[in-house]
Amino acid sequence: MTAGFSGQISDDHDVAQAPGGLLTEAWARIAARMKSEVGEVEYRTWLQQIVLGPVDGDEVTLLLPTRFLRDWVRSQYGDRLSTLWNQEIPALRRVELQVMRPGDRPAAATAEQAVPVASGRRVADVPEAPAPVVERVQDARSDLVAPLDPRFTFDSFVVGKPNEFAYACARRVAEKPSSPGFNPLFLYGGVGLGKTHLMHAIGSELTREGRVSVAYMSAEKFMYRFIGAIRSQSTIEFKEQLRSVDVLMIDDLQFLIGKDNTQEEFFHTFNALVDAGRQIVVSADKSPSDLSGLEDRLRTRLGCGMVADIHATTFELRISILEAKATASGVPVPAKVLEFLAHKITTNVRELEGALNRLIAHANLFGRPVTLEATQEVLHDILKAHDRRVTIEEIQRKVSEHWNIRLTDMSSARRARAVARPRQVAMYLAKQLTSRSLPEIGRKFGNRDHTTVMHAVQRVTELMERDTAFAEDVELLRRMLES
Ligand SMILES: Nc1ncnc2c1ncn2[C@@H]1O[C@H](COP(=O)(O)OP(=O)(O)OP(=O)(O)O)[C@@H](O)[C@H]1O
């Protein structure tokens, strides 16, 4: 155990007097210790969602989002958590586990977010939104029970151009499961763009009245369940359980690539359910046709219903999401901070949310307002990792290669569309991926005026919203340049 508080808090001190930062650090160490003891997967499933709550006298409170989780953590990890807290703060008499209520103000956010900024964490460690705990069937007939994340509802999902189609499809399935043309519903898109959120929203909506049984699980869990059933010679029960549900939702299906036996089992379950008029919802990082490595017959069946893509976020959507989350937190966050974040963190909503959560936790802990300066300080590690070092020359080169035009045409006066459109894309990417101003970008493109660059950015944004293939091209280029 690390030195913790020794020398700073003695037995006869009130724990509540401990400076907030020290408590947070103690919590970060305890969480890190738990992670190393139970392993990454178990930690993410059960412990990552714990939030450090208020400290009162000699009692510290840990908050959990659901009763189920609270009970589970209490029964499985309660003693260990108490011991670790006690090692950190000997004055502590009690560790209380409570269900978070709306309006609960955490003393810090999750342990991940409590880690001091100076610890040099990189973007991969940016606090994620709590990993949704897998599986649930709201039905006594089955024991595939686990909670859906109560925060992932349709109401808390912010809709914008990139996700409106997927959102509409999800709503439709939640209203009328097994409608022709919507079975299966296949949701796909990049990391952290809201696929799991939408699946949980469907599940919560359907189970609200308690009439429909919904089983939700990650593909990974599906595989482990299946292997477990084989080992314990209970595959028949496993199959029966799965086939008794009204709606089966499998998240992150790409996990089944290369797992032939599990794929086969899933294929049969899939057929049995669809043939019986039950609804299937699947998510993956790619469209069915691009999931090479899945059996052809499975890919074909997956593509038979409704396939809905969640596109990369736009600046506007990122702003709306940040606004919604900041409002829900009750901490005032100035518009310019939200804009700054939306400009800087463009990859996925989970990272964006993690950054905002850290800011909010910081503001709550130290009672200081959120300002642009504080943001740069608190998030310096995240922002550094997102600092793009792409040059305009690189962008021009990649874009010219992609559309097979001459590099010199990036600066030439030629206005033929075959040349002008790639040039506009390059200007758009220069605006998105570098910190150059519009006039600076204009200068690099044959001394064009800044209004030309502005027009190019608008035009490309509009085209991306209208033309999926074009949007994918631009996204691909962006990813290539960022990697
Ligand atoms: N449109 C949105 N509105 C509100 N929150 C969102 C939105 N999109 C994503 N989020 C939030 O971002 C986080 C990541 O989303 P989610 O877990 O659903 O992503 P995912 O697409 O399933 O990612 P992965 O590929 O890692 O499975 C969640 O906390 C989710 O609530």
**Tokens (6 digits) for 121:** 């964490």
Is 311 touching ligand 1 by the criterion CB < 6 Å? no
Is 195 touching ligand 1 by the criterion CB < 6 Å? yes
Is 318 touching ligand 1 by the criterion CB < 6 Å? no
**Tokens (6 digits) for 183:** 């079975």
Is 282 touching ligand 1 by the criterion CB < 6 Å? no
State how far the Cα of 67 lies from the Cα of 368, in Å rounded to an integer. Answer: 32
Is 328 touching ligand 1 by the criterion CB < 6 Å? no
391 labelled ligand-binding: no
Q: Is 180 exposed, middle or buried (0-12, 13-18, 19+ CB in 10 A)?
A: exposed
Q: What is the pLDDT of residues 14-71, one digit of tens each?
A: 444 555 567 788 888 899 888 888 777 677 777 888 888 877 777 888 988 777 778 8
Task: Output phi, psi for 184, to 5 deg.
Answer: -75, 160
Lowest mean pLDDT among 29-33, 75-79, 144-148, 189-193: 144-148
Residue 81's alpha-carbon distances to 15, 31, 94, 235, 283, in angstroms, are 16, 9, 10, 36, 35
Is 279 touching ligand 1 by the criterion CB < 6 Å? no
State how far the Cα of 481 lies from the Cα of 483, in Å rounded to an integer. Answer: 6
For the segment 453-469, the average pLDDT, to the nearest whole number, is 93
Pick the most confident of 64-68, 89-93, 297-301, 465-469: 297-301
* pLDDT of 483: 57
> What's the gap in Å between 131 CA and the centre of ligand 1?
10
Q: Is 272 exposed, middle or buried (0-12, 13-18, 19+ CB in 10 A)?
A: middle
> What's the gap in Å between 194 CA and the centre of ligand 1?
3
| Of 302, 298, 300, 262, the residue nearest 282 (C-alpha) | 302
Lowest mean pLDDT among 76-80, 160-164, 247-251, 257-261: 76-80
Provide the pLDDT confidence category of residue 176 given band limits of 50, 70 and 90: very high
* pLDDT of 1: 29
Is 128 touching ligand 1 by the criterion CB < 6 Å? no
DSSP annotation of 107: S
The letter for the amino acid at 53 is G
Q: Which residues 6+ apart lie within 8 Å of 178 measured at CB?
A: 277, 278, 279
Q: What is the pLDDT of residues 156-172, one digit of tens each?
A: 999 999 999 999 999 99
**Tokens (6 digits) for 43:** 């930690």
444 labelled ligand-binding: no
Provide the pLDDT confidence category of residue 132 given band limits of 50, 70 and 90: very low
Which atom of ligand 1 is closest in space to residue 189's alpha carbon? 21
Mutate-to-test residue for ligand 1 from 316, 349, 356, 357, highest number of ligand atoms within 8 A of CB = 349
For the segment 147-157, the average pLDDT, to the nearest whole number, is 90
**Residue 310 clears pLDDT 50, i.e. is over it:** yes
Q: What is the pLDDT of residues 378-417, one digit of tens each?
A: 898 888 777 657 889 999 999 999 999 999 999 999 999 9
Asked if 26 and 4 touch (Cβ cutoff 8 Å), the reply is yes
* pLDDT of 86: 82
State the average pLDDT for the chain.
82
Is 352 touching ligand 1 by the criterion CB < 6 Å? no
Residue-wise DSSP of 41-97: HHIIIIITT-EEEEEETTEEEEEESSHHHHHHHHHHHHHHHHHHHHHH-TT--EEEE
pTM given for the model:
0.59
* pLDDT of 387: 65
- Rg of the chain's alpha carbons, rounded to an integer? 25
State how far the Cα of 291 lies from the Cα of 301, in Å rounded to an integer. Answer: 13
192 labelled ligand-binding: yes
**HSE value, Cβ hemisphere, 13 Å, CA-based, for 271:** 9
* pLDDT of 446: 95
The letter for the amino acid at 35 is K
Provide the pLDDT confidence category of residue 73 given band limits of 50, 70 and 90: confident
Order of strands, sheet of 247-251, starting from the edge strand that comes earlier in the sequence: 214-218, 247-251, 279-284, 185-189, 306-310
* pLDDT of 393: 93
Q: What is the pLDDT of residues 269-291, one digit of tens each?
A: 999 999 999 999 999 999 999 99
* pLDDT of 338: 93
**Residue 451 clears pLDDT 60, i.e. is over it:** yes
Q: Is 425 exposed, middle or buried (0-12, 13-18, 19+ CB in 10 A)?
A: buried
Q: Whose CA is nearest to atom 10 of ligand 1?
A: 194
**Coil, helix or strand for 310?**
strand
ipTM of the complex: 0.99
Q: What is the pLDDT of residues 180-225, one digit of tens each?
A: 899 999 999 999 999 999 999 999 999 887 778 899 999 998 998 8
Provide the pLDDT confidence category of residue 241 given band limits of 50, 70 and 90: confident
196 labelled ligand-binding: yes
Is 152 touching ligand 1 by the criterion CB < 6 Å? yes
* pLDDT of 380: 85
Q: What is the pLDDT of residues 340-361, one digit of tens each?
A: 899 888 878 999 999 999 999 8
Task: Kindly report the length of the chain.
Answer: 483
Provide the pLDDT confidence category of residue 233 given band limits of 50, 70 and 90: confident
| Of 477, 390, 365, the residue nearest 441 (C-alpha) | 390
**Tokens (6 digits) for 271:** 């057929």
Lowest mean pLDDT among 48-57, 150-159, 333-342, 451-460: 48-57
Sole residue written with tokens 């024991």 = 143
Which atom of ligand 1 is closest in space to residue 129's alpha carbon? 29
